[in-house]
Every structure is written in C-alpha cells, then in structure tokens.
Structure 1
Amino acid sequence: MRVWTTIAVLILATSMNASAQNRMPPIPADKMTNDQKKALEDFLAARGTPTGPWVALLRSPDVMTRARALSDYLRFKSVLPPRLSEFVILMTARHWTQQYEWNAHYQLAMTGGLKPDVAKAIAEGRRPEHMAEDEEILYNFCMELHRNQSVSDVTYARAVSKFGEQGVIDTVSLTGYYVMISMILNTARTPLPEGVTPALAPFPR
C-alpha cells in the first residue's frame, strides 16, 4: 500500500510542479516492472520518497539501487567533511549548469560550513577569494579535472598531502558521481521544485 500511495503522490507532485519538458516523470504504477517496484520499495525503506534524479533512475532499477549505495558512501562516509564534499558537488553542478543539483545542495553546503561568498563565486563562474587552504586545494584539483580531464603533478601532490590517497579517490569519485547525476538530470530535463528560481546562469558557448 505504501508503494502505491507514494506513486500517487509522486505523479500528483510532478503534474503540479513539472514543466512540460520533463522527459522522465514518475512511472505510473500500472507501467512499472517487478524490478522497478522492488527498487522503489528498497528506496522508500532507506530514504523515503524519491525525488530529482531518482525518479529518472527508476527506469533502470539496478542502476538506481547501485547508485544509491555509492551515494550513501560518498555523501556520508567519505573522508571529506560535509563542508568539502558539498563544495565539490557545487563545483560539479556549476560545471554542468545543473539547476536541480545546485538547489538541492546549496543549503547543505551552507549548513556544512561553506561560506556564502565562496558558493556565490562558484555560481558566477569565478575563482573564490579567501578560501580556506583545504578548499583552495580542492578547487584547484576539481577545476583541473573538469577543464583539462587531468590533474597536474603539483596539484595532485598538494591533494595527496592534505587528504591522502583515499581522499583523492573519494574526491574523484564524488566528482564523477555527480557528473553522472548532472547528465541524468540534464537528459531527463528534471524541473526545479515549483517556485524555485534557477540560481545558475548558462555559461557562454
């Protein structure tokens, strides 16, 4: 019963909040496969009602379940504290101009201790001023990875010195995971919640 109630709520919320361009709204109950129903049940037990990328990810239930497990580690168990993990997520959202991702993580970054002026600079596509040392190291690392698809020896050495090899792998994995989420959201054209204004201007092309 809980699954069917959740599906009804999802469909109603989407019909009220989504723009017409939403390519992957919630799947109607009578269209779900058994694997999708099982993935939804597992998600409900672990996190509650799926929103955002999870609505689209239900199209591939095994990917949804495995992505949730990776997300649980990267968000809550990695060696990076919330201030830094959310900083990495915001940089990724900005690189992909992913409005939903930015909106979902901006307040988490503030709660984690990231300074508003640092987030504002990221949103505007600028290098933040007055970053903490660990933020500057992560900024250089992530920006090189996004822009150059590689990391210089100097930048790599600073990251390993500060965060260790596990921290470097956690950072790369966090970045890569949210690149995937950005791609899913951009492909699905997942809309922002109703009444939310997009925070990111498109980059010039």
Structure 2
Amino acid sequence: MRLTTPRIHPVTAEKWTEEQREIVAPMQARGRIINIFRTMLTHPAAAKAFLTWGGYILSRKSTLPPREREIVILRTGFLCKSGYEWTQHVPIGQKAGLTDAEIARIKLGADAPGWSAADTSLLRAADDLHREYFVTEPVWAELTKHFNEQQRMDIVFAVGQYTQVSMLLNTFGVQLDEGQTLDPDLKGF
C-alpha cells in the first residue's frame, strides 16, 4: 500500500445523500459496500460513469473469459503496486479458475515456468501496455493466435480500466476492507 491512511475518506452510510444511496442500492442488495465504492461516492457523477464502464469489463458482455480477464487484471494491479486491487481480485481470480500457484506466478510474469502460450501472451500484453502504453507487434501476433479481435480489444480495455483503478486506489489512499490482509510483496509501496 502506498498510503496508510486515506486522502479521500470513504463516505459513511449515515452521510449518504439520496443520489449516493441510489448509486449503492444495487451493491447493497448483493452484500456490503467495499471501500473503493464508498470512496467513489465522494464524486457521484464520476462514480456512476466508473461503475458503468467497470461493470462492462467484469460482465459477461466482455468477450474475454473470466479466467483470462483476471490474469490481466491481477498482472496490471501488481505492476501498478496496487495492494487494494490485488487483494480484491485474488479471490475473484480464484472463482474464475486460477489456482494459487498461478496467482503467485502472475507476480513473476510471462517468463515464469508453467504458463500456456495463451496465458503468456496475456501477461506480455499487460506488461507491454504498462510499460509502453502499446502492445508490441510480436505480442499482438501471439495474442492473435489465441484470441479473436473483440477479445484482443477487451484485453486492452481491461488493462486500461485496471490501470486507472490502480491509480485512483493508490492516489486516494483507499484502504483494505475489514478482514483483508495485504500481500507481503505489495507492502512498502
């Protein structure tokens, strides 16, 4: 975690406006409201737009299968040193079919042993986008062997979205939710 206290504090339920209550109503129906969303409530117009696009990335409307989506999201969160993002998406990745060993290898990247060619291309694409803001020709050619055109677009969309998410989490100082533990590899950033 980059900050040990929030720069922008989560809005507590007692202080929610009617607009803020409308934003979180669907989340409340599914369970608790996590700190990222309680922080985003500070800016309701941005929260609404953010939830629409983020909802697409995580939905079945995205053509990228959940396991592959989580590989690029976790790699992006790790590269951005976003402890909150990593912590939130490890269990999502597990539900999507990633093993604990694969999640640990995501930190090491595409050169870690054990990845399929398709997984390697996903990790290299996330690395390219993080480093160059561009998927290089060799990596694009490898992605083309495994993913159709819309899926390749959704890879870029997912990395872009979670780069933005990591930036806001890191900068706003969004803290882990109750009961969560920070991965030791992301301490001190």
Partner of 1:6: none
Which residue of 36, 44, 49 maps to 1:61? 44
Stretches of structure 1 lacking an aligned partner (at least 5 in a row):
1-18
Are 1:103 and 1:199, in contact at CA under 8 Å, matched by a contact in 2?
Answer: yes
Instruction: Find the aligned partners of 1:42 and 1:106 in 2 and give their Cα distance.
Output: 23
1:160-179 matched pairs, under 5 angstroms: 160-179=144-163
Partner of 2:95: 111
Deviates further, 110-119 or 180-189: 110-119
With the length of structure 1 as denominator, give the TM-score of the two structures: 0.77
Which residue of 149, 161, 172 maps to 1:188? 172
With the length of structure 2 as denominator, give the TM-score of the two structures: 0.83
| SS in structure 1 at match of 2:185 | coil
Deviates further, 194-203 or 153-162: 194-203
- Give the Å deviation of 1:25: 3.0
The aligned amino acid for 2:86 is: W
- CA gap 1:52/1:66 in 2 versus in 1, 3 angstroms: same
- CA gap 1:31/1:102 in 2 versus in 1, 3 angstroms: same
Stretches of structure 2 lacking an aligned partner (at least 5 in a row):
none
Number of equivalent positions: 186
Q: Larger relative CO (CA 8 A, sep 6+): 1 or 2?
A: 2
Are 1:24 and 1:55, in contact at CA under 8 Å, matched by a contact in 2?
Answer: no
2:54 corresponds to 1:71: yes
Bigger Rg over Cα: 1
RMSD value, Cα: 2.7
Are 2:81 and 2:186, in contact at CA under 8 Å, matched by a contact in 1?
Answer: yes
Instruction: Find the aligned partners of 1:163 and 1:125 in 2 and give their Cα distance.
Output: 19
Are 2:10 and 2:40, in contact at CA under 8 Å, matched by a contact in 1?
Answer: no
1:7-22 matched pairs, under 5 angstroms: 21-22=5-6
Kindly, what percent of the aligned residue pairs are identical? 28
- Give the Å deviation of 1:48: 4.2
Runs (4+) off by over 4 Å? 28-34, 202-205
Partner of 1:8: none
Are 1:159 and 1:168, in contact at CA under 8 Å, matched by a contact in 2?
Answer: yes
| SS in structure 2 at match of 1:201 | helix
- CA gap 1:124/1:195 in 2 versus in 1, 3 angstroms: farther
- CA gap 1:127/1:69 in 2 versus in 1, 3 angstroms: same
Partner of 1:16: none
- Give the Å deviation of 1:143: 0.9
- CA gap 1:117/1:48 in 2 versus in 1, 3 angstroms: closer
- Give the Å deviation of 1:127: 3.4
